[in-house]
């Protein structure tokens, strides 16, 4: 049997859109805090608000975006949100106060919440259902690549004080996003098939789909655990004089994520998600155990490799699961739930684990992460067992 084609022009287009969205996001994420503290006289708490307000705005708007996507034209929403994303970037070179910058971050977060929801929904519908795990694994690598390249660009420009150059680059990137949004072909659904979505008022099931919610809980717990690595590993490494090892940790993490994600996506499609998710969660847990031990360069780099394979591979498979658990016309809601679970996990995890680090030290962050990963694995086990029982009956 011939497999349906994955690498179509539209799939490449939407993958490029995703890459450029997150490239701009990560350039700004690293540039803005440095300008805020160096030129605007802001403190660390205000620098933290730059990402907190941005993510809160995105989280709040995503359920509404999902409803609009389910009821309306996906391409129209993609174009308008890309246009708004572009307009938001236009203001960064002219911001001269902390208050104006924080206000802009809220507006930009709203545009980010809408465009990430719609581009995720379009990608899920462009990818053939029989190759969804493989397709989403490749698609998610665009974000991973941006996660590596964006901070490098942002930090290098910020370190020489070239803030406006950084923002001008983001403006160009946003213009490319808008152009790609205009030329992509999106197969629109017939509105007659969506009366229940289009006609009803906003309700709780527009926020959380009951079939997708269990997967969202797993994603939330795993993201909470990883937030401890993302937020505190560099600080921990500085405390124990292993800064170079921490840099190598993230390089190795990214490298193995790039290597394994496409394969794990194919294996999930071929052999079933359960056979891939459980080993990934186990590897993630092993990596957290290694980080909780008294550290050396070898241990830290080894942990980066194992977590890169485990956590780096499991997230697109769980996204596939959360999308496949809902009806086609609710894919937008499922994508909204997926991204909100990730963002909430990262936000809540960083807050709670920051308190843990303050009172018990950085190694306790990784011990807490072990508990969170095990909780996520147990939640997935209960979910998988329940699904198998339903199939058997």
Query: Which residues, in sequence order, are CB contacts of 92 under 8 Å at separation 6+?
Result: 28, 104, 167, 170, 171
CA separation for the pair 129, 321 (Å, rounded): 11
All residues at 6 or more sequence positions from 362 whose CB lies less than 8 Å from its CB, including other chains = 232, 235, 236, 239
Instruction: Indicate the pLDDT class of residue 82, thresholds 50, 70 and 90.
Output: very high
Structure tokens at 168: 């001008």
Cβ neighbours of residue 195 closer than 8 Å, sequence gap 6 or more: none
Closest CA to 104 of 113, 91, 116: 91
Q: Using the predicted structure, report yes or no on whether residue 202 has a pLDDT greater than 70.
A: no
**Euclidean distance between CA atoms 365 and 239, whole angstroms:** 14
CATH fold for domain 1-185: Growth Hormone; Chain: A; (1.20.1250)
Q: How far is CA 5 from the centre of its chain?
A: 26
Among candidates 16, 175, 35, which has minimal Cα distance to 104?
A: 35
Residue 273 in this model has a pLDDT that exceeds 90? no
Which pair of tokens denotes residue 261? 């994600």
Is a pLDDT exceeding 90 seen at residue 218? yes
pLDDT at 185 over 70: yes
Which band of pLDDT confidence, cut at 50, 70 and 90, is reported for residue 195? very low
Rounded to 5 degrees, φ, ψ at 161 are 75, 15
pTM of the model: 0.75
pLDDT interval class at 81 (50, 70, 90): very high
Q: Phi and psi of 361, rounded to 5°?
A: 95, 165
Residues 370 and 285: beta-carbon distance below 8 Å: yes
Q: Where in the chain is the domain with CATH 1.20.1250.20?
A: 1-185, 203-393
* For the chain, percent of residues with pLDDT exceeding 90: 35
| Residue 29: pLDDT band with limits 50, 70, 90 | confident
Q: State the pLDDT at residue 189.
A: 62
pLDDT number for residue 387: 61
Task: Compute CA distances 52 → 184, 332, 348, whole Å.
Answer: 32, 24, 10
Residue 327 has φ and ψ, to the nearest 5°, of -70, 160
pLDDT for res 206: 57
Tell me the C-alpha to C-alpha distance, in Å, between residue 227 and each of 45, 198, 368: 18, 37, 11
The domain defined by 203-393 carries CATH number 3.30.110.30:
no
Q: Which of 68-72, 136-140, 287-291, 300-304 has the lowest mean pLDDT?
A: 68-72
Per mean pLDDT, which of 70-74, 164-168, 209-213 is the most reliable?
A: 164-168
Q: Mean pLDDT: which of 140-144, 167-171, 228-232, 276-280 is highest? A: 167-171
Region 174-186: mean pLDDT is 95
Give the per-residue pLDDT at 194.
43
- Whether 125 and 331 have beta carbons less than 8 Å apart is answered as yes
Q: Tell me 201's DSSP state.
A: P
pLDDT value at 114 more than 90: yes
């Amino acid at each position: 049997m011939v497999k349906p084609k994955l690498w179509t022009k539209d799939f490449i287009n939407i993958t490029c859109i995703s890459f450029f969205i997150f490239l701009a996001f990560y350039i700004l994420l690293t540039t803005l805090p440095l300008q805020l503290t160096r030129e605007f006289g802001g403190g660390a708490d205000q620098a933290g608000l730059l990402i907190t307000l941005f993510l809160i705005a995105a989280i709040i708007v995503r359920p509404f975006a999902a409803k609009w996507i389910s009821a309306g034209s996906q391409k129209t929403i993609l174009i308008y949100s890309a246009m708004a994303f572009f307009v938001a970037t236009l203001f960064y070179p002219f911001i001269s106060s902390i208050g104006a910058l924080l206000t802009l971050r809220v507006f930009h977060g709203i545009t980010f919440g809408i465009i990430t929801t719609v581009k995720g929904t379009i990608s899920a519908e462009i990818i053939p259902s029989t190759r969804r795990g493989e397709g989403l694994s490749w698609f998610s690598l665009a974000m991973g690549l941006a996660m590596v390249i964006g901070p490098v660009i942002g930090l290098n420009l910020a370190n020489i004080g070239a803030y406006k150059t950084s923002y001008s680059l983001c403006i160009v990137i946003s213009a490319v996003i808008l152009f790609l949004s205009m030329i992509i072909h999106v197969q629109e659904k017939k509105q007659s098939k969506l009366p229940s979505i289009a006609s009803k008022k906003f309700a709780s099931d527009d926020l959380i789909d009951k079939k997708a919610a269990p997967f969202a809980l797993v994603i939330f717990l795993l993201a909470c655990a990883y937030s401890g690595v993302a937020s505190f590993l560099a600080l921990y490494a500085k405390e124990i004089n292993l800064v170079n090892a921490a840099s190598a940790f993230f390089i190795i993490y990214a490298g193995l994520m790039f290597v394994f994600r496409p394969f794990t996506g194919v294996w999930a499609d071929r052999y079933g998600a359960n056979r891939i998710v459980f080993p990934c969660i186990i590897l993630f847990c092993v990596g957290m155990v290694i980080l909780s031990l008294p550290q050396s360069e070898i241990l830290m780099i080894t942990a980066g490799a194992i977590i890169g394979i485990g956590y780096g591979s499991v997230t697109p498979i769980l996204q596939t699961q959360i999308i496949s658990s809902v009806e086609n016309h609710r894919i937008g809601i499922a994508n909204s739930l997926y991204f909100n679970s990730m963002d909430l996990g990262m936000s809540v995890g960083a807050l709670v684990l920051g308190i843990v680090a303050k009172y018990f030290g950085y190694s306790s962050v990784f011990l807490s992460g072990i508990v969170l990963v095990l909780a996520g694995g147990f939640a997935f086990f209960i979910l998988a067992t329940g699904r198998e029982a339903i199939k058997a009956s």
